[in-house]
Amino acid sequence: MKRLHELTSWAALVLVVALAGCRTRQLPRTGYVPAEEQGVMTIGLDDHDYDLVAAGITREMFSRGLPAGYVVVLGPVDTRECPYDVRVRQLQKSLQVAFNKEGTLKFMTAINAMAGGTEIDEIFKLIQFNWLNSNPMDIEDMQTFGRLARVNGILFGRVSSLERPLPGGMREITYRFVWELSNTATGLLEVSHEEKIRKNVGRGVR
């Protein structure tokens, strides 16, 4: 009888300890979430997507062994084949930060590159026109631009997207970013990179 009483006491003690463990204190709640968290899936490009795209092209350029001090300028980015907003300025800033952190390559925006005068501006417009109309690049234009703006490479971009319905009212969207880095001295393609982002989005999400 005494043994049974002892066992019951032990069982009660274990139960009390177990229940106390179950009732953990709630952590204080906060509205902040880690900035890297991917968040709600949207049909348009979100912050996480821009991070992925910028990381992809910078990784590719750093891994190609471009000479130290090589200056890259972000040229025209054609987004006409995408019905949704593509924030080129945000991409530009992310690339700038990544280049600055890496240290060996230099990054310049087209606006800064054109600060040299109207001649650069005019040549850049020609280069832009050729890229947007899928015309072959004029090597002379590239060389003149490179010399006047003191840049080694122009990074061209093309963004397109394909969308299709999925069962249950969901939609699938695939964004394709194609990057081409052309050498301004030779006119040759130094880096060509493609980054794809594929997302499934629920009904009513934008």
* β-pair partners for 13: none
Q: What is the largest CA-CA distance in the chain?
A: 104
Among 50, 60, 62, 84, binds another protein (CB under 8 A): 84
* β-pair partners for 178: 158, 194
Q: How distant is the alpha carbon of residue 173 from its chain centre?
A: 16
Closest to another protein by CB, 74 vs 142, is 74
Please state the closest distance from residue 160 (CB atom) to another protein, in A.
8
Task: Determine if 44 is a binding residue for another protein (CB under 8 A).
Answer: yes
Dihedral over Cα of 97, 99, 104, 108: its sign: negative
Q: Which two tokens stand for residue 41?
A: 């899936």
Q: Which stretch binds another protein (CB under 8 A): 11-19, 24-32, 77-85, 182-190?
A: 77-85
Task: Determine if 86 is a binding residue for another protein (CB under 8 A).
Answer: yes
Please state the closest distance from residue 43 (CB atom) to another protein, in A.
6
Smallest CA-to-CA distance from 49 within 200, 197, 179 is with 197
Task: Determine if 206 is a binding residue for another protein (CB under 8 A).
Answer: yes
Q: Give me the amino acid identity at 134.
A: S
Task: Determine if 166 is a binding residue for another protein (CB under 8 A).
Answer: no
Q: Which stretch binds another protein (CB under 8 A): 21-29, 71-79, 144-152, 187-195?
A: 71-79
Please state the closest distance from residue 52 (CB atom) to another protein, in A.
19
Task: Give the Cβ contact number of residue 96 at 10 Å.
Answer: 16
Helix (H, G, I), strand (E, B) or coil at 127: helix
Task: Determine if 163 is a binding residue for another protein (CB under 8 A).
Answer: yes
Task: Determine if 130 is a binding residue for another protein (CB under 8 A).
Answer: no
Task: Determine if 85 is a binding residue for another protein (CB under 8 A).
Answer: yes
CA–CA dist 72, 91 (Å, integer) = 14
Please state the closest distance from residue 199 (CB atom) to another protein, in A.
13
CA–CA dist 120, 124 (Å, integer) = 6
Residues that bind another protein (CB under 8 A): 43-44, 76-89, 110, 125, 128-129, 132, 163, 206
